[in-house]
Amino acid sequence: MPQAIETMLLEERRYPPPEPFAAQANAQPDIYERDPDEFWETEGRGRVSWFQSFDRLYEWEPPYARWYLGGKLNVCFNCVDRHVEAGRGDKVAFLWEGEPAGEREEITFGDLLERVVRFANGLKSVGVKKGTPVGIYMGMVPELPVAMLACARLGAPHTVVFGGFSAESLSDRLNDMGCEVLITQDEGWRRGARVPLKRNADEALAASPGVRHSVVLRRTGGDVAMAEGRDIWWHDLVGRVQGSGPETCPCEPMDAEDLLYLLYTSGTTAKPKGIVHTTAGYLVGVATTHHYIFDIKPDSVYWCAADIGWVTGHSYIVYGPLCNGTTGVIYEGTPDYPDKDRWWEIIERYKVDVLYTAPTAIRAHMKWGPEYAQKHDLSSLRLLGSVGEPINPEAWMWYREHIGAGKTPVVDTWWQTETGMILITPLPGVTTLKPGSATRPFPGIDAAVLNEAGEEVGPGGGGYLVLRRPWPAMLRGIYNAPERYVETYWSKYGDAYFAGDGARIDEDGDYWLLGRVDDVMNVSGHRISTIEVESALVDHPKVAESAVCGRSDPQTGQAIVAYVTLKGSDPGSVEMMEELRAHVGRKIGAIAKPANVVFTPELPKTRSGKIMRRLLRDVAEHRPLGDTTTLADPTVVEELETRANTEQTEE
Ligand code: WTA
């Protein structure tokens, strides 16, 4: 945090919108003058199609909001059918590119409708209907959005579990939601290697007795075991229900507040939270922000390079863009396969005009060097976006300079799984940009920065980011955990939503996000809680105790450092470090593997036995240590400092 504050104070570069961009932009300066209620009322009526119009904009009974009350609609109808009905069936919905060379698909809205209808009918045949919870565990294949949309069509809420998560993470989520069906695939492709999704799913299902069926897409053709009576191939399921002539499957009319999906995210305890998103407010929120922030035009070729398994993919690959009838790119693999110019090759091939990615990816490209981008014609790009963590001004500048030809606006968008939609962001035709600042709340959003006492800090002040009025796509709670919902977001300030991020407002009223203020780390833009990793470590039979913290890392934003005390008087070893990293990978997923393991006979604790994580962070960051007098045994940290400085670092 102190570093971010210094950066902000030194940052004086300003980039007003280029004249021609400003003139044609979807959002014009007067958008900030609109009344919030009028804004969301108008967007709600105009941006989505209703089976039955809403009669109340919203109801706010802190901490619960409901939006577009009385309205009936279907998300899949809005994302697919209505575009076909309007004669745009031949427009491309997705340009899909597989990781292996030459594997490409062009899926029009007409094709998408056909695929969704068939798959929805397939799901029906295994008993999926309105209200049936469905788990989805897939890679970045076109069938992933098809599966999500088919669920939405039937009114079956889904939870998508990122394909990099372990079997245990998957079964935890399936069990928490009570999923009855799982949709998965044989394997995925990642950097030329096969990701054993079905094998992980089998392991997960052994611990998820509520799942009756799993539907398996054949992607790589790799050998997988199919459990008799439980597992069904995707193609068989679809073939089974396919009759003669065009198929139909009506869109279930859903209430504005019916559950659309749960998405699990890390909090400050070991158990991930099932964030609840409902139908109408979510759809209006993501479609509206997508339209104005990314300045989407009818002929845009838009690429959000996130994974659909995270909220960014839900809101800005699937639901927002499809609702707006936008052509989007989906790429299956990693940016460096077969070489480090893969992304730029894709942008050149499809003439992408808007690219949305994360600072960690930008920093990876920076490290590889601009020559990879220079090999390709990127002149189609007119706008760049960033999300997931604070973007350091150097990365912002590099992005604009080397990818945006020194002229495209860069929108740094702040939001969360919980917010569902972007809340703090520049508008590319209006806002004067500052590298590293997410600038201003989106129209209709009431954000503020409060101090510890709950008072609003003025220009120049720092504190905690809050939201004071409900917004359409906000979470409706944590699934099955109403107390945790109140405790996490509403106990600090009563009826202002506490985001868990530190922020500062500068003299111009622009926001600078400063990172998490709780025990949540942000590794490559992914949220991982310290306690989750600690629990995974302590689960290893040789570990007695562990404490985990994040340290800043030039590549991944934060890197995970684990302090571990082994049982007996085992001093630890490089092999043990590898074993523990692999163990965490199995328990949670590869993203949660500690970069560094520091073995220590003891952890620094207060006299009451609480682990002093603040001190561990200082040690990890090589910062001067603060007050150590409350420690039970002050010599422990001195010892730790020596160890942290000599221990090997991985990755
Ligand atoms: C961080 C991702 C600074 C923040 C959409 C937030 C950011 C958490 C930004 C949510 C940004 C996201 N600037 N920090 N532009 N965007 N964050 O739920 O700490 O995966 O609370 O949602 O990422 O992460 P989540």
* Amino acid sitting at position 259: L
Q: Which atom of ligand 1 is nearest to the CA of 513?
A: 3
Q: 357, 384, 389: which to mutate for ligand 1, most atoms within 8 A of CB?
A: 389
Q: 162, 264, 501: which to mutate for ligand 1, most atoms within 8 A of CB?
A: 501
Q: Which atom of ligand 1 is nearest to the CA of 499?
A: 21
| Range with the poorest average pLDDT among 167-171, 379-383, 591-595, 647-651 | 647-651
Residue in the block written with tokens 């340290």: 551
User: In angstroms, what is the span from residue 314 Cα to ligand 1's centroid?
Assistant: 15
- How many CA atoms within 13 Å lie on the side-chain side of 10? 9
Structure tokens at 115: 């695929």
What's the pLDDT at 626?
Answer: 66
pLDDT tens sequence across 148-192: 999 999 999 999 999 999 999 999 999 999 999 999 999 999 999
Cβ–ligand 1 distance for 387 under 6 Å, the answer yes
pLDDT tens sequence across 482-526: 999 999 999 999 989 999 999 999 999 999 998 888 888 999 989
Give this prediction's pTM. Answer: 0.93
46-65 b/e (C-beta count within 10 Å ≥ 16 → b): ebbebeeebeebbeeeebbb
User: In angstroms, what is the span from residue 414 Cα to ligand 1's centroid?
Assistant: 6
Cβ–ligand 1 distance for 413 under 6 Å, the answer yes
| DSSP secondary structure letter of residue 431 | P
Average pLDDT over residues 39-51: 98
Cβ–ligand 1 distance for 512 under 6 Å, the answer no
pLDDT tens sequence across 112-124: 999 999 999 999 9
What's the pLDDT at 651?
Answer: 35
For residues 71 and 54, the answer to whether their CB atoms sit within 8 Å is yes
- How many CA atoms within 13 Å lie on the side-chain side of 643? 23
Cβ–ligand 1 distance for 502 under 6 Å, the answer no
| Range with the poorest average pLDDT among 240-244, 462-466, 476-480, 610-614 | 240-244
What's the pLDDT at 648?
Answer: 44
Average pLDDT over residues 282-311: 98
Q: How confident is the model at residue 587 (pLDDT cuts 50, 70, 90)?
A: very high
Contacts of 87 (CB under 8 A, 6+ apart): none
Strand-pairing partners, residue 193, are: 190
pLDDT tens sequence across 543-558: 988 999 999 999 999 9
Write the CA distances from 217 to 200, 222, 495, integer angstroms. Answer: 14, 11, 45
* 520-649 to CATH, choices 3.30.300.30, 3.10.150.10, 3.40.1170.10, 3.30.450.20: 3.30.300.30
Write the CA distances from 357 to 4, 70, 312, 313, 435, integer angstroms. Answer: 21, 36, 9, 10, 16
Residue in the block written with tokens 């569902």: 420
| Cα–Cα distance, 529 to 265 (Å, whole number) | 9
What's the pLDDT at 264?
Answer: 97
pLDDT tens sequence across 386-441: 999 989 899 999 999 999 999 999 999 999 999 999 999 999 999 999 999 999 99
Q: 527, 552, 558: which to mutate for ligand 1, most atoms within 8 A of CB?
A: 527
The domain locations on the chain are 520-649
Q: Whose CA is nearest to atom 7 of ligand 1?
A: 389
Q: Whose CA is nearest to atom 8 of ligand 1?
A: 416
Reply yes or no on whether the pLDDT at 337 is more than 50: yes
Alpha helices in 486-573 (DSSP H): 530-538
Region label for 148, one of left (φ > 0), alpha (ψ between -120 and 50) or beta (otherwise): alpha
pLDDT mean across residues, the chain: 93
| Cα–Cα distance, 262 to 135 (Å, whole number) | 10
% of the chain beyond a pLDDT of 90: 83
Q: Whose CA is nearest to atom 10 of ligand 1?
A: 416
